[in-house]
Amino acid sequence: MAIATINPATGEMLKTFEPLNDSEIASKLDLAGQAFVQYRRTSFSERSQWLQQAATILQQEKADFAKIMTLEMGKPLKAAIAEVEKCALVCNYYAEYAPSFLADVDVKTDASHSFVRYQPLGVILAVMPWNFPFWQVFRFAAPALMAGNVGLLKHASNVPQCALAIEDIIHRAGFPQGAFQTLLIGAAKVADLMADERVKAATLTGSEPAGASLAAAAGQQIKKTVLELGGSDPFIVLPSADLEVAVVTATTARMLNSGQSCIAAKRFIVAEAIADKFEKLLLNKFLALKVGDPMQPDTDLGPLATPDILQDLNQQVQTAVNSGGKVLTGGHPLSDRPGNFYPPTIITDIPPNSAIAQEEFFGPVALLFRVPDIDAAIKLANATPFGLGASAWTTNDQERDRLITEIDAGAVFINSMVKSDPRLPFGGIKRSGYGRELSIQGIHEFVNVKTVWVN
C-alpha cells in the first residue's frame, strides 16, 4: 500500500510520501538504541513534565490535529477534536500515576529485604491502525515513555501526516532526540524490525492477519507482543432495560467513528418480547443520522477510510443478504457522490449459525438478532471467534451478574456502551488479542518485572 494522504470524502490524492529506505531505517534504529541508554536514566519527574507538555500542545493545537485526522481518514471533525482531547487526558493520567504504578513493591519473605522493581525493556515497536490515528498511538506512547522505554511508530500507510504530527508533538514536548520516532514504512518491513536486536518488544492494533504475522515474527525472536485486534461486540437488550436509553446508546455505539471501531456494538441481540419496538426505534434513529462532509460540525457519519473498506463492507452486506438477511435500511454504497460513503444499515434475520454472523462488520452496519431469553442471548453473544467488549442492558440484578460472569470478553459494560478509559484496562481475549493497554496493567506490559532479594 502506498504511503499517502487520500481524502476519503473526495477520493482526491493529496500527498504521497517516499517510504524510508533500508539505510534510513538503520539510522533510526541506531538513534533509538542510543537514545534508550540515556533515556532510561531520566527521572519520573522529567518524563512527567515532558508528557504534561505533550498534553498542553495537544490541547492548544487540537483543531489543527483534528483536521489532519479528518482529512486523512474521514472521521467527523467533532469526533476528531474529542480524540485529541482524550490523548491529552491519557498523557496527564500517566504523567500523574506512572510513578506510583512503577514504584518498588516490597514483598515479605525470609530475605532481609525482597521487592519487585519495574524497569524498561528498551525500544518498543508500535504498529498502529488508522481508525483512531492519534488515540491508538498515545495510549501506547504515554505509558511506554513514562516507563523509560523508547518508541518506534509504524503507523497505517493512509495516515502519514498524523504519524509525523505525533512524532513532532513528542519532540516539541521536550522528550530527548530519538525517544519516539515515526518510521514511514510499509507493512512488509515489520518482520525485519522484529528481527533487529535493538527492538525488544512490539504492540499491534489492527486486523487478525496483521496481528498473527507480527506475533509469528516476534515468536521467532522470543520477543513479547501485545495484540489489540478485531471485535464483533454484542449489545444485548433484555426486557427490563430502559429501551429509549438503550436505543440512543445503541446508535452511538454502532456509529462511533462511522462504524469503524473495534469496540463498536456490532451485533444487537434483543429479547423477543421487546424486539419489534427496539427495531422500530433503532430504524428511526438510523434514518435521522446526517451522512456527509466530515469537516461540517453537524455531520454524524463521514466516509469510510478507504475504498477497500467500503468494498469489503458492501461484500459482507451482500453475503448477509444471500444468507437470508433482510435489509431494513441502507445496504448499498452511496453512489450519488464521490468518496467512500456507506449509509447507516440495519440487517435482520441473519441465521445466527451462518458464517457471515461470525464476522466483524467494520462500518455503519447493525446486525439484529432476536432471542427468546437470557440463556440464548449469552450463547449467541459468545458465538464468535472474538472477545473484545460487550454491552448488556437489564435492570435485573441476577441477570446482570450472569452477563458479567458468563460473557467471554475483555470487558462487559452494563447499561452503558463499551468505551476505553485510561483508568481501566483495555484489551481482548480469543481472537481479539492478548495483553492489556491503559491503567496499571497497560504500563506493566512493557517492563522487566525484576525480582530482587537482598541478604
Q: For residues 247-276, which are near ligand NAP according to CB under 6 A? A: 262
Residues 57-96 that bind ligand NAP (CB under 6 A): none
User: Shortest approach of ligand NAP to residue 455 CB, angstroms?
Assistant: 44
- Sheet (strand 447-454) strand order: 105-106, 113-120, 447-454
Q: What's the DSSP call for residue 103?
A: S
- Considering the rule CB under 6 A, would residue 161 count as an interface residue with ligand NAP? no
Q: Is 6 in the site for ligand NAP (CB under 6 A)?
A: no
Full DSSP string of 348-371: E---TTSGGGGS---SSEEEEEEE
- The active-site residue out of 162, 167, 262, 445 is 262
Is residue 190 a contact point for ligand NAP (CB under 6 A)?
A: yes
Determine the Cα–Cα distance for residues 263 and 267; give it in Å rounded to an integer: 11
Q: Does 56 bind ligand NAP (CB under 6 A)?
A: no
Q: Which stretch binds ligand NAP (CB under 6 A): 27-35, 69-77, 184-192, 244-252?
A: 184-192
Given the residues 72, 228, 360, 399, select the one marked as catalytic: 228
Q: Site mask, ligand NAP, residues 397-416, x = CB under 6 A?
A: --------------------
How far apart CA 329 and CA 365 sit, in angstroms, is 10
- Concatenated DSSP letters of 410-424: SEEEESS-----TTS
Here's the x/- map for ligand NAP, 312-351, by CB under 6 A: it reads as ----------------------------------------
Among 271, 266, 267, CA closest to 240: 271
Instruction: Please identify which residue in the block is written with the cell numbers 460472569.
Output: 405
Return the number of the residue (154 or 370) whose C-beta is nearest ligand NAP.
154
Least CB distance from residue 205 to ligand NAP, whole Å?
5
Query: Binding ligand NAP by CB under 6 A: which of 128, 291, 368, 411?
Result: 128
List of residues 6+ apart from 112 with CB closer than 8 A: 454, 455
Known catalytic residue: 228? yes
Residues 6+ apart with CB under 8 A from 391: 233, 234, 235, 236, 249, 253, 265, 412, 413, 414, 416, 417, 418
Compute the distance between CA of residue 211 and CA of residue 225 in angstroms, rounded to an integer: 9
Nearer to ligand NAP, 204 or 378 (CB): 204
For residues 217 and 235, give the distance between their C-alpha atoms in angstroms, rounded to a whole number.
35
Through-space distance between the first and last CA atoms of the chain, rounded to whole angstroms: 57
Does residue number 236 form part of the binding site for ligand NAP (CB under 6 A)? no
Looking at 131, 181, 249, 391, which residue binds ligand NAP (CB under 6 A)? 131
163 near ligand NAP, judged by CB under 6 A: no
74: left (phi over 0), alpha (psi -120 to 50) or beta: left
Element (H, E) at 241: none
* Closest residue to ligand NAP: CB criterion: 206
Task: Among 16, 106, 186, 452, indicate the residue that binds ligand NAP (CB under 6 A).
Answer: 186
- Catalytic residue flag (residue 85): no
Does position 145 interact with ligand NAP (CB under 6 A)? The reply is no
Catalytic residues, which ones? Answer: 228, 262
Residues of this chain that interact with ligand NAP (CB under 6 A) are: 1, 127-131, 154-157, 186-187, 190, 205-207, 210, 213-214, 228-231, 262, 360, 362, 388, 428, 433
